[in-house]
Amino acid sequence: MNATPAPADDLIVIGKIVSVHGVRGEVKVYSFTDPIDNLLHYPHWTLRHEGDVKQVVLMQGRLQNKVLVAKLNGLDDREQARLLAGYEICIARSLLPALTHGDYYWYQLEGLKVINSPGELLGKVDHLLETGANDVMVVKPCAGSLDDRERLLPYTDGCVLDIDLAAGEMRVEWDAGF
């Protein structure tokens, strides 16, 4: 492990180290990828926690229930591994696979202005939630928004009409009264 950080503006969080596993320095990882073991396709991780940044190399990993167990290069001690609990696992955005037209990564949607059909600014996408049936956008008020209400909008074809990343806007079919 070394302390050479990657450019912070190019990083995307794909998981988090949650605890240790066993006595040989393995760590339990909660993955934000879908499917969750896609995280194991990225061997070079940037770990971040409270301003501390570390570069690590994934040696091997496996799926165990709903978490991953990972072995990092040079990490052979349980107590040393325990110090990594809470670190976010990041990779460069450029390493993510290209998507087909009309598909988006969540990070691309965060920060977009949300405007309904009558042209009312409902707010900005703060973050998304996975609910099982469909993803949900948490839209928080911003400067110029219609009101100060937080809204939960489904990320579905029926609600999302258009996404313009260049303009930073998303058009939706959503009544401002909801």
> How confident is the model over 78-89, as pLDDT tens digits?
999 999 999 999
pTM of the model: 0.78
Domain count, the chain: 2
The last residue of one of the domains, among 61, 95, 129, is: 95
The last residue of one of the domains, among 32, 62, 95, is: 95
In this prediction, residue 76 carries a pLDDT of: 94
Phi, psi (rounded to 5 degrees) for 34 = -135, 115
The 3-state DSSP class for residue 32 equals coil
Q: Are residues 113 and 141 in the same domain?
A: yes
Q: 55 is in which domain, residue-wise? A: 8-95
- Asked if residue 2 is part of any domain, the answer here is no
Q: Are residues 91 and 110 in the same domain?
A: no
* Tally of residues, the chain: 178
- Asked if residue 82 is part of any domain, the answer here is yes
How big, in percent rounded to 5, are the helix, strand and coil portions of the chain?
A: 10, 45, 45
The CATH number of the domain holding residue 55 is 2.40.30.60
Average pLDDT over residues 112-116: 98
Per-residue pLDDT for 5 more than 60?
no
Tell me the percentage of the chain whose pLDDT exceeds 90. Answer: 81
In this prediction, residue 7 carries a pLDDT of: 58
Q: Are residues 39 and 112 in the same domain?
A: no
The 3-state DSSP class for residue 82 equals helix
The 3-state DSSP class for residue 166 equals coil
Q: Which residues contact 151 (CB under 8 A, 6 or more apart)?
A: 114, 122, 123, 138, 139, 174, 178
**Per-residue confidence at 132, pLDDT binned at 50, 70, 90?**
confident
For residue 127, how far is the Cα from the chain centroid? 9
The last residue of one of the domains, among 33, 65, 95, is: 95
